[in-house]
Amino acid sequence: MNNNNAEVIRGLVRPILTMVFGIAFILGVFARLIEPIWLAYLTVGIFVFWFGDRAFKNLGFMLKGQLPVTTPEVTETSQPQPAITQPAPTEETNPVELVPELDLASFHEAVFKDVGPRYTEVNPCTIFYEARDKGVVTKVGHISQAIDYWNYLVGLAGEAFHYIWGYSLDEAIQHAGEPGCPTCTTCAAGTDIDSKARRAGMAYYAILLDLRRTLEKQQDLYQLAQSGIDWKAKLAPQQQTLYSLGGLAEEILRTSR
């Protein structure tokens, strides 16, 4: 049986059944087998039989417009989106402090420029004094700058000592018991370097004290750098200079114990 024949038979079922039930109901009423009230029930049943499915379809369309219907969102592309990966957390690192180095070449050039007009004579002693004076007024930002300066100043002090004595400090100590020295053949021998320096003259003794003091302050500055003491908190702003930091290093260490 093809589809056309099935549709024809399906369309005849409802009219035939309606006629059969209608005739049977009428005969039953006339034969007094059925109460007349059932005629109303039959009428309602016929309406439901014929038009019920259409009414239910219309009611479904009405309810469909009132109830919210969720529909899946349609994306522009059907291709899967790549997964977003969160960047791996990075460990916090402390910022590295960049310490500007002391430009000793420029500093020494400035010393040579000013030593002549200030002292009227240029020699290792006046160069040492001018470098010391410039260190007093030159600001320091980091203790390493002061260490570079004091290493430089010790070198100048050693050259100034050799200029006066004709010896290095170690050689002068070795020959302290001998009369004379390369620059003073008439000076008397001493029991130690101090006594010989006093006998040789003021210039000899003064440069000996300057060299000793410079070496001592250099060592104090080394100890201060190793201690980790906040030296800026110990010094007034006007004292935070290349020379003053080394000159006051021993005092900072003593008051911080």
What's residue 100's pLDDT?
77
Q: Give the distance between the most distant pair of CA atoms in the chain.
A: 174
pTM of the entire structure?
0.62
Q: Tell me the pLDDT tens digit for each residue of 25-56.
A: 677 666 666 666 666 666 666 666 656 555 55
What's residue 150's pLDDT?
98
- Report the 10 Å Cβ neighbour count for 4: 7
| 38-75 b/e (C-beta count within 10 Å ≥ 16 → b) | eeeebeeebeeeeeeeeeeeeeeeeeeeeeeeeeeeee
What's residue 168's pLDDT?
95
**Residue 234 reports pLDDT greater than 70:** yes
| Secondary structure class of 149 (helix, strand, coil) | helix
Q: Tell me the pLDDT tens digit for each residue of 2-32.
A: 555 655 566 666 667 667 666 766 776 666 6
Q: Tell me the pLDDT tens digit for each residue of 93-150.
A: 555 556 678 999 999 999 999 999 999 999 999 999 999 999 999 999 999 999 999 9
C-alpha 128/C-alpha 157 separation (Å) is 6
CA angle 238-240-243, nearest 5°? Answer: 105
What's residue 238's pLDDT?
95
DSSP track, the chain: --HHHHHHHHHHHHHHHHHHHHHHHHHHHHTTSS-THHHHHHHHHHHHHHHHHHHHHHHHHHHHHHS----PPPPS--SPPPPPPPPPPPPP-PPPPP-PPP-HHHHHHHHHHHHHHHHSS-SHHHHHHHHHHHHHHSB-SSHHHHHHHHHHHHHHHHHHHHHHHSS-HHHHHHTTTSS-BTTBTTPPP-SSHHHHHHHH-HHHHHHHHHHHHHHHHHHHHHHHHHHT--HHHHS-GGG-BHHHHHHTHHHHHHHT-
**Residue 62 reports pLDDT greater than 90:** no
What's residue 101's pLDDT?
85
Of how many residues is the chain composed? 257
**Residue 84 reports pLDDT greater than 90:** no
